[in-house]
Amino acid sequence: AQMALERDYETQREYDTRYRVLLEAAREAFAFVSVNSGRVIDANSAAAALIGVAREDVIGTIFSQEFEGRRRGEFMQSLSAAAQAESVRPLELNLRRAEQRVLVTPTAFRAAGEQLLLCRIDTAEAAESVADELT
Amino acid sequence: AQMALERDYETQREYDTRYRVLLEAAREAFAFVSVNSGRVIDANSAAAALIGVAREDVIGTIFSQEFEGRRRGEFMQSLSAAAQAESVRPLELNLRRAEQRVLVTPTAFRAAGEQLLLCRIDTAEAAESVADELT
């Protein structure tokens, strides 16, 4: 059992590495948010740049405080509701520091017993250019 | 030691889940390729759609065979060289099935003792529109 566990452990470590490489290779902005605390548990450089904080300072920030006029409880409820909607329905929000309109698309999931949201953050302009391409 | 290992294991499982959610939430096309075998070990739906294979069939394909006129050894060497270049230098390639020109940007890393490449695949048009935005 110990050996099987160690073998599994090695496999899982590989996902840890793949995860980190993928997160940084993405040019889209991504933030992982804990539903319970409302805090950012991880985010990539693209997200940090968009939010307007240093990469090393983004982890631990209260996600709702990065947006204008959003209170934590209500904000996390809106995100969770959007994540559970049948069709993808991004939230239109204004970033507080950058004073920029963005679309936040949340995906809800559970990992190690904790409810998490993966939020993709698109600038409103980028979202429009994608929409243009699809029409 | 057993308990510490189990605790670590739980943490690593969380990364496994985060990895899968992130890979599918990305609209950019990503493929993980083994340097040794030249085979795709994982890819997202965006990559499968671009390459022109079903999501479930993309894993295990020889990556070089998806591009026109590329032999495995020479192809993997070009990708590795591009990944090790000081500045990011994407490879211009033609997708065989879709007959589409793409830019492949590789990132080299090592996980569980194996050399891997994460390849981001951009359609040439999408890459140009990003370049336009930056100018």
DSSP 8-state assignment for residue A112? T
Q: Does residue B86 surpass a pLDDT of 90?
A: no
pLDDT attached to residue A112: 84
Query: Which is it for strands B114-123 and A40-43: parallel, antiparallel or unpaired?
Result: unpaired
Please state the ipTM of this predicted complex. Answer: 0.88
B73: tokens are 């050894």
Contacts of B130 in chain A (CB under 8 A): 27
- Edge-first strand listing for the sheet containing A29-34: A40-43, A29-34, A114-123, A100-111, A91-95
Q: Does residue B10 surpass a pLDDT of 80?
A: no
Q: Which of B10, B23, B111 sits opposite A17 (nearest CB)?
A: B111
Instruction: Look at A111 and B14 and tell me if their CB atoms are within 8 Å.
Output: yes
Residue of chain B whose alpha carbon sits nearest to that of A44? B22
**Are the C-beta atoms of A7 and B5 separated by less than 8 Å?**
no
The string of pLDDT tens digits covering residues B21-77 is 999 999 999 999 999 999 999 999 999 999 999 988 999 999 999 999 889 999 999
DSSP 8-state assignment for residue B87? S
- Residue B4 or A73, more confident: A73
Nearest-CA distance from B3 to chain A in Å? 11
- Residue A112 or B110, more confident: B110
Q: Does residue B81 surpass a pLDDT of 80?
A: yes
Please work out, in degrees rounded to the nearest 5, the angle formed at the alpha carbon of residue B42 by the alpha carbons of B131 and B6. Answer: 120
pLDDT attached to residue B90: 93
Residue A35 backbone dihedrals phi, psi, to 5 degrees: -65, -40
pLDDT attached to residue B123: 93
Mean pLDDT score, A98-117:
94
pLDDT attached to residue B9: 66
DSSP 8-state assignment for residue B1? -
The string of pLDDT tens digits covering residues A36-93 is 999 999 999 999 999 999 988 999 999 999 999 889 999 999 999 999 888 878 999 9
Nearest-CA distance from A114 to chain B in Å? 9
C-alpha distance from residue A45 to each of A22, A31, A55, B25, B106 (Å)? 12, 10, 6, 17, 18
Mean pLDDT in chain B? 89
pLDDT band at A13; cut points 50, 70, 90? confident
- Whole-angstrom distance between the N-terminal and C-terminal Cα of chain B? 55
Contacts of A105 in chain B (CB under 8 A): 25
Q: Does residue A107 surpass a pLDDT of 70?
A: yes
Residue of chain B whose alpha carbon sits nearest to that of A17? B111
Q: Which of B6, B8, B25 sits opposite A118 (nearest CB)?
A: B25
Residue A83 backbone dihedrals phi, psi, to 5 degrees: -70, -30
Q: Does residue B135 surpass a pLDDT of 60?
A: no
- Which of A3, A17, A18, A132 is the mutation pick for testing B, counting most B CBs within 10 A? A18
Does residue B109 sit at the A interface (CB-CB below 8 Å)?
Answer: yes
Query: Coil, strand or helix: which one is A1?
Result: coil
Q: Does residue B112 surpass a pLDDT of 90?
A: no
Does residue A57 sit at the B interface (CB-CB below 8 Å)?
Answer: no
| A-B contacts (CB, under 8 Å) | 97
- Residue A124 or B78, more confident: B78
C-alpha distance from residue A27 to each of A77, A113, B5, B106 (Å)? 27, 29, 34, 14
Instruction: Look at A10 and B118 and tell me if their CB atoms are within 8 Å.
Output: no
Query: Coil, strand or helix: which one is A101?
Result: strand
